[in-house]
Structure 1
Amino acid sequence: MSFTLVIVGRPNVGKSTLFNRLVGRKLALVDDQPGVTRDLREGDARLGPLRFTVMDSAGLESATDDSLQGRMRRLTEQAVDMADVCLFMIDARVGVTPADEIFADILRKKGAHVILAANKAEGRAGESGLLEAFSLGLGEPIRLSAEHGEGMGELLEELMPFAEAAEKKIEETLPELDVDVSDDDEFDDTVSAPTADKPLQIAIVGRPNAGKSTLINKILGQERLLTGPEAGITRDAISVRTDWNETPMRIFDTAGMRKRAKIQDKLEKLSVSDGLRAVKFAEVVVVLLDVEIPFEQQDLRIADLAEREGRAVVVAVNKWDIEDEKQEKLKQLRADFERLLPQLRGAPLVTVSAKTGRGLERLHDAIMRAYGVWNRRVPTAALNRWLVGMLEQHPPPAPQGRRIKMRYMTQVKTRPPAFVVMTSHPDVVPSSYSRYLVNGLREGFDMPGTPIRLYLRDQGDKNPYKDRKKKQPSRLKKHIGKGDR
């Protein structure tokens, strides 16, 4: 058990820069443009001996209505209520603003544990702002420079009491739970079952306004991610952890991906790049489509990207609640899926409604099924019996008169399944024959939809005496008679 720290403040005071420093990598997008962060982003922080959870929040806005800024503010206030301690940041170079005073008053009324920090205080430029911060009535401010790492020691001192309180809670809880913590649990990297320490990594991807954030909120059972009618609300890949039907998962909400030609804004380019990284780190990618405009070119590109990255893929069609001709539409969707994405033939296609929650059980089952296939390992003996049958049913061609002999096959890895076939002349095996083998693997070993990697390797020559010159007998041996030997 550790404590949770949430970083709050006006837009562009350096919250995301400090968040990235505490987690040790660039998880949050950082840009000079204010208001880049809109959702709550969590990370595992490390500061000296302390390990804790840190949350980056949207810049506090003065709006209180149902506008985008108003919804962002409510989400940040929700984070303050959830956290053990709040780090309230101001810009020391700008000084205390009326908005800072309003938010300081809100934090005092909430009774939250607040640490005040004056960021960008390096050099003389921040001296006056640092002094002004005393007027907020939140105690003595920490002098910080998130960009250069100054003031981290002072922050560590302020956080120590919260770490000690969390440790005390552990000591009070352990006797009741009768837990032996003498040895840490070890987890084998080869074990594929999701655990609390190794949750199943899922990325939800799709075009803008497909309903990704709404779907994740419905899975979580709370308004954890910012949603609304505006397209492109999510700007970076936000991860949330949950136990969905008793399965530990980390779910990544990604920014909507538009066609490359339409992406002109620098921030949108960063957002899409962040989403692509989420796909690479995911184990299962859920491609979310809009039932009114499914399988657009961008949807196909996104699904193809997930397949090329070797991820398990599930296609989910959202907004199913507004579809009237459900049976006819489902039949059409399945036909289009088979025709437009043959490389994902057999992958799960499920219909959901992020608004009502219908179909979430089907989606969970489809994710677990795809994850299981992605981890499947086939015994070598079974593979080679299967290979003999495939060769008898359809022998390899003999391009340019060169006979191809496939002698042996084995699986070299999972996640995704990868196989090696030892063969003569691998360089001339037609791609159509490789596809024949891949499709046969899908059918023969029940691996629908998952990416399959097939590698053809030269079997080499097992005769160690080939190409070795025959040794000539010595002249002396030629003249020795049999009786003298």
Structure 2
Amino acid sequence: MTVTVAIVGRPNVGKSTLFNRLVGRKIALVDDTPGVTRDRREAEGRIADLTFRILDTAGYEDVTDGSLEDRMRQQTELAIKEADVILFMIDARAGVVPLDQRFAQVLRKAGKDVHLVGNKAESSAAEAGLVEAFKLGFGEPIPLSAEHGLGLSELYSIVSKAIDVAEANKEAEAIADLDEMPEVDVDITEDMLEGEGEEATLRWNPRRYLNVAIVGRPNAGKSTLINRMVGEERVLVGPEAGITRDSILVPWEWEGRTINLVDTAGIRRRSRVTEKLEKLAVGDSLRSIQYAEVVVLMLDATIPFEKQDLALADLVEREGRALVIAVNKWDLVEDKNTALASLKEACERLLPQLRGVPLVTLSGLTGRNIDKLMDAIFKIERSWNSHVSTARLNRWLTGMVESHPPPAVSGRRLKLRYMTQAKTRPPSFILFASRPEALPMAYQRYLVNGLREAFDIQGTPIRLWVRSGGDNPYNDKTKRKIG
């Protein structure tokens, strides 16, 4: 049984530092600048043998004017509603400030299990602030240093007790349900037990969860799309560019399958990224591409295929991830047929290394074509997991060589021995040749494009490694069998 623990408090008291400490990785952005965290972020926390769900929240601002700070406050209040345990963090060195007192009133009305935490308590300068914290009305504050890992034993006791209470409540509910269930006689037959213990080994499991990162330039509509997909205001949105800073993972169910959507910060050209916080946010977005399986590149339909869009697509290809191009704000386009034809032509011309990449037009604001986007994601995932048998590959290779033999280099004909697939995700092939270093790149592209067409591996990166090798070992096996 697990519980949800939310870390809340005013800006710059160290919430994200404690979040990273409990998660065991630096996944939340941390900086001395107040207001770094904007969305609520969740992960699995751990203290010794305890595991629990942990929520990091934006610094609480007492505003209700519809501004960005107001929307951040609403996200924090949603986290409070979800939580079983709330860690109310203050800066012990600064003492209690008016915003702490205002937030304490909000937490008392929530009626949750609140524990006051005095962070930055590693020095004697925090003693006065810890004494002052009693007036907030949450009992004795827990002295803590998120930076140095001090005070975690007290947090262990809090979370352990919450887990015990949750398990007791669950057991009581189960007993109550059993008391209400009617008695039913069931005859167990042999066919009910068939398949017990059997395991199916699949190269690709279409029921496994899928990690999907949504990337693009600032203000392309990434957060708006995720909110429309999950059906709630899960991440902050607004007219301001660059609202998202942390990469936020949002689990979502689509047709019975779990999709881990990752909202990322907008990525501008490197020359324009000058502030430290934006550099941290962009670095977090780039790491999200590395951990994703499918990357959705969001384009703005009013200004598609700018230089930065092409650079991001090229980065996804170099990282070996499956790519889907989503053209957002399609509702703003007037002549849709002409615009779509122009987009497809530009995609084929500007991204030849990702020939056949899926392109979907949609509107994150209205939810139009989200079903088509998911169809494209699943289709490219299958291509990304494609596996071709060695026998089929070599029959195909023979036909390709007969249609267009490799050129002679320095008066010597190149011999292509055989080919095999080394791995999937992305599809990667090894071609054995007599002189691998002499095989022109143009001929390698000819083979890669042939692989796409013959085995329906459109749009996904393909790796082709050329190695030196002798005769085809599969031909040797055939000769031995005949002899």
| Mapping for residues 24-35 of structure 1, pairs under 5 Å | 24-35=24-35
- Output the CA distance in 2 between the equivalents of 1:72 and 1:389: 61
- Output the CA distance in 2 between the equivalents of 1:229 and 1:343: 34
- Output the CA distance in 1 between the equivalents of 2:67 and 2:255: 34
Q: Provide TM-score, normalisation by structure 1.
A: 0.91
* Corresponding residue of 1:223: 233
Bigger mean CA deviation after superposition, 81-90 or 236-245? 236-245
Q: Is the 8 A contact 1:421 1:457 kept in 2?
A: yes
Q: Aligned partner of 1:281: which letter? A: Y
Q: Aligned partner of 2:61: which letter? A: E
* Corresponding residue of 1:19: 19
* Corresponding residue of 1:192: 204
* Corresponding residue of 2:374: 364
* Corresponding residue of 1:155: 155
Q: Which runs of 4+ in 1 moved over 2 A?
A: 165-178, 185-195, 460-463
2:312 counterpart (272, 292, 302) = 302
Bigger mean CA deviation after superposition, 70-79 or 156-165? 156-165
Aligned identity (percent) is 58
Q: CA deviation at 1:28?
A: 0.2
2:358 counterpart (348, 351, 354) = 348
1:284 counterpart (287, 294, 297) = 294
- Output the CA distance in 2 between the equivalents of 1:42 and 1:56: 6
Q: CA deviation at 1:402?
A: 2.2
CA 1:191/1:85 → structure 2, altered by over 3 Å: closer, same or farther? farther
Q: Aligned partner of 1:220: which letter? A: V
- Over residues 440-463 of structure 1, what are the superposed CA-to-partner deviations in whole Å (9 max), with x where a residue is unaligned? 000000010000000111004899
* Corresponding residue of 2:36: 36
Q: Aligned partner of 1:48: which letter? A: A
CA 1:413/1:188 → structure 2, altered by over 3 Å: closer, same or farther? farther
- Output the CA distance in 2 between the equivalents of 1:424 and 1:172: 73
SS in 1 for 2:467: strand
Q: CA deviation at 1:171?
A: 4.2
2:327 counterpart (317, 328, 350) = 317
* Corresponding residue of 1:83: 83
- Over residues 359-406 of structure 1, what are the superposed CA-to-partner deviations in whole Å (9 max), with x where a residue is unaligned? 100001000001111001111111110000000000011111122111
Q: Is the 8 A contact 1:194 1:248 kept in 2?
A: no
* Corresponding residue of 1:8: 8
Q: CA deviation at 1:173?
A: 6.7
SS in 2 for 1:122: coil
Q: Is the 8 A contact 1:194 1:249 kept in 2?
A: no
Q: CA deviation at 1:174?
A: 6.8
Q: Is the 8 A contact 2:40 2:235 kept in 1?
A: yes
- Output the CA distance in 1 between the equivalents of 2:173 and 2:321: 40
CA 1:46/1:137 → structure 2, altered by over 3 Å: closer, same or farther? same
Bigger mean CA deviation after superposition, 441-450 or 167-176? 167-176
Q: Is the 8 A contact 1:219 1:244 kept in 2?
A: no
CA 1:132/1:194 → structure 2, altered by over 3 Å: closer, same or farther? farther
* Corresponding residue of 1:102: 102
| Mapping for residues 428-443 of structure 1, pairs under 5 Å | 428-443=438-453
Q: Aligned partner of 1:193: which letter? A: N
Q: Is the 8 A contact 1:65 1:71 kept in 2?
A: no
Q: CA deviation at 1:49?
A: 1.5
* Corresponding residue of 2:92: 92
Q: CA deviation at 1:59?
A: 0.3
| Mapping for residues 347-426 of structure 1, pairs under 5 Å | 347-426=357-436
- Over residues 279-330 of structure 1, what are the superposed CA-to-partner deviations in whole Å (9 max), with x where a residue is unaligned? 0110000000000000000000001100110000000000111111111111
RMSD between aligned residues: 2.0
Structure 2 unaligned blocks of 5 or more: 182-196, 474-483
CA 1:393/1:191 → structure 2, altered by over 3 Å: closer, same or farther? closer
Q: Aligned partner of 1:54: which letter? A: I
2:272 counterpart (255, 259, 262) = 262
Q: CA deviation at 1:255?
A: 0.5
- Output the CA distance in 2 between the equivalents of 1:76 and 1:315: 32
SS in 2 for 1:419: strand
Structure 1 unaligned blocks of 5 or more: 179-184, 464-485
SS in 2 for 1:8: strand
Q: Provide TM-score, normalisation by structure 2.
A: 0.91
Report how many aligned residue pairs link the two structures.
Answer: 455
- Output the CA distance in 2 between the equivalents of 1:462 and 1:365: 39
* Corresponding residue of 2:480: none
CA 1:10/1:258 → structure 2, altered by over 3 Å: closer, same or farther? same
Q: CA deviation at 1:186?
A: 12
- Output the CA distance in 2 between the equivalents of 1:126 and 1:188: 58
CA 1:321/1:420 → structure 2, altered by over 3 Å: closer, same or farther? same
Q: CA deviation at 1:167?
A: 2.7
* Corresponding residue of 1:203: 213
- Output the CA distance in 2 between the equivalents of 1:290 and 1:390: 40
SS in 2 for 1:153: helix
SS in 2 for 1:89: strand
* Corresponding residue of 2:188: none
Q: CA deviation at 1:18?
A: 0.2
- Output the CA distance in 2 between the equivalents of 1:186 and 1:5: 38
SS in 2 for 1:93: coil
SS in 2 for 1:117: strand
* Corresponding residue of 1:247: 257
- Output the CA distance in 2 between the equivalents of 1:59 and 1:422: 58
- Output the CA distance in 2 between the equivalents of 1:63 and 1:156: 34
Q: Is the 8 A contact 1:237 1:252 kept in 2?
A: yes
Q: Aligned partner of 2:312: which letter? A: I
* Corresponding residue of 1:335: 345
- Output the CA distance in 2 between the equivalents of 1:194 and 1:276: 26
SS in 1 for 2:235: coil
Q: CA deviation at 1:191?
A: 5.0
- Output the CA distance in 2 between the equivalents of 1:220 and 1:300: 28
- Output the CA distance in 1 between the equivalents of 2:283 and 2:142: 34
Q: Is the 8 A contact 2:223 2:236 kept in 1?
A: yes
SS in 2 for 1:146: coil
- Output the CA distance in 2 between the equivalents of 1:254 and 1:173: 40
Q: CA deviation at 1:118?
A: 0.3
- Output the CA distance in 2 between the equivalents of 1:187 and 1:294: 47
Q: Is the 8 A contact 2:417 2:470 kept in 1?
A: no
Q: CA deviation at 1:32?
A: 0.6
Q: Is the 8 A contact 1:347 1:449 kept in 2?
A: yes
- Output the CA distance in 1 between the equivalents of 2:462 and 2:94: 56
Between structure 1 and structure 2, the one with the greater Rg is 1
Q: CA deviation at 1:169?
A: 4.9
- Output the CA distance in 2 between the equivalents of 1:189 and 1:113: 45
Q: Is the 8 A contact 2:418 2:472 kept in 1?
A: no
